[in-house]
Amino acid sequence: MGPVRSELMWQAVVDAVEIAGAGRLLDVLDLGGGTGGDAVHLAQLGHRVTVVDPSPDALASLHRRGIEAGLPEPVRGVQGDSGDLLDHVEPAAFDLVVCHGVLEHVDDPAQALDTVATALRPGGHASVMVAGRNAAIAARALAGDFVTAQTLLGRTAGTWDLRSMGPRRFAPAELEELLSTQGFVTVRTNGVRVFADLVPSAIVDIEPGARDALYALERELRSSSEFSALSAGLQSIARLDLPSAATPDPGGRSAAL
Ligand SMILES: C[S@@+](CC[C@H](N)C(=O)[O-])C[C@H]1O[C@@H](n2cnc3c(N)ncnc32)[C@H](O)[C@@H]1O
């Protein structure tokens, strides 16, 4: 087993695949999939994966990872972003869209989720991971930066200024609200890394059994709303509402909203 942090992040993807697929092999879009750590793992499990990312360097690493992993076919990697996604993929083509660590950076998270919804088949699922705002406030306060902590306290994802404040942070209710306004029903919101980023690595790496015990604690705490509100990462797994029978619209999703 690798570092707890990496293992927890990968298990969050596994959770989403289980909810979206119930054992089926899936068409997965990893939007902002970066260097493809998750994508290559998913392809090794037999899922059909497409990565869309604006970074050519990340896509080159994805290609290399696929070769090193001995995949029979490379993971499809496409240079693009949440703004031009539909120039690169068909609408309603995916069972699961993984969008981890991306909404913190985009100008308009609602627009990005709207695009995610368009890429999904009706009834498909999105796994959206974002950085938690409360954890960021706690980190600033514990570092003695009380002014920034107070500034973050007064901000919401909607009033966040990326240029002056850096990557956007979210409260759990904001993430769920954002998903809901784009036609999603949240299946669950988990905390990912409640304590893992706070515990000194000397404890985790040296104390016998500490790594596995921390992992088990994190996995148990992830579904507690009290603790997920403090977590460094928030993951919502959400289902795109099926279009109503009265307004069939197989290609588009406007009827579902
Ligand atoms: C923090 S990394 C996350 C990588 C990966 N999803 C993960 O969880 O490890 C953020 C990624 O989002 C990509 N990105 C930035 N803006 C984006 C956008 N508008 N649409 C899609 N991806 C974007 C970056 O190139 C980068 O690879």
Phi, psi of 25 (to 5 degrees): -80, 135
Q: Is 10 strand, coil or helix?
A: helix
Neighbouring C-alpha atoms within 13 Å toward the C-beta of 69: 22
**Atom 22, ligand 1: residue with shortest CA distance:** 32
Neighbouring C-alpha atoms within 13 Å toward the C-beta of 233: 24
Burial status of residue 236 (CB atoms within 10 A of its CB: 0-12, 13-18, 19 or more): buried
* Terminal Cα-to-Cα distance of the chain (whole angstroms): 43
Q: Is residue 128 situated within a structural domain?
A: yes
Tell which atom from ligand 1 comes closest to the C-alpha of 129: 8
The pTM (predicted TM-score) of the whole model is: 0.92
**CATH number (domain holding residue 27):** 3.40.50.150
Q: Is residue 144 situated within a structural domain?
A: no
Q: Is residue 179 situated within a structural domain?
A: yes
Which pLDDT tens digits describe the chain residue by residue (257 residues)?
A: 678 999 999 999 999 999 999 889 999 999 999 999 999 999 999 999 999 999 999 999 999 999 999 999 999 999 999 999 999 999 999 999 999 999 999 999 999 999 999 999 999 999 999 999 999 999 999 999 999 999 999 898 888 989 988 999 999 999 999 999 999 999 999 999 999 999 888 888 888 899 999 999 999 999 999 999 999 999 999 999 876 654 444 444 433 32
Q: Is residue 222 situated within a structural domain?
A: yes
Domains in the chain, number: 1
43-47: list long-range contacts, CB under 8 Å, 24+ apart: 43/69, 43/71, 43/75, 44/69, 44/71, 45/17, 47/17
Residue 226 CB neighbour total at 10 angstroms: 9
User: Ligand 1 mean position to 98 CA, how many Å?
Assistant: 11
Are residues 160 and 190 in contact, defined by beta-carbon separation less than 8 angstroms?
no
**Atom 24, ligand 1: residue with shortest CA distance:** 32
Q: Is residue 153 situated within a structural domain?
A: no
Q: Which domain holds residue 232?
A: 4-132+168-239
Helices and strands, counts by H and E, the chain: 11, 7
Q: Is residue 149 situated within a structural domain?
A: no
User: Ligand 1 mean position to 34 CA, how many Å?
Assistant: 6
What pLDDT is recorded for position 37?
A: 96
What pLDDT is recorded for position 250?
A: 47
Q: Is residue 228 situated within a structural domain?
A: yes
What pLDDT is recorded for position 245?
A: 57
| 58 CB near ligand 1 (under 6 Å) | yes
User: Ligand 1 mean position to 194 CA, how many Å?
Assistant: 22
User: Ligand 1 mean position to 244 CA, how many Å?
Assistant: 33
Q: Is residue 59 situated within a structural domain?
A: yes
| 102 CB near ligand 1 (under 6 Å) | yes
Are residues 251 and 91 in contact, defined by beta-carbon separation less than 8 angstroms?
yes
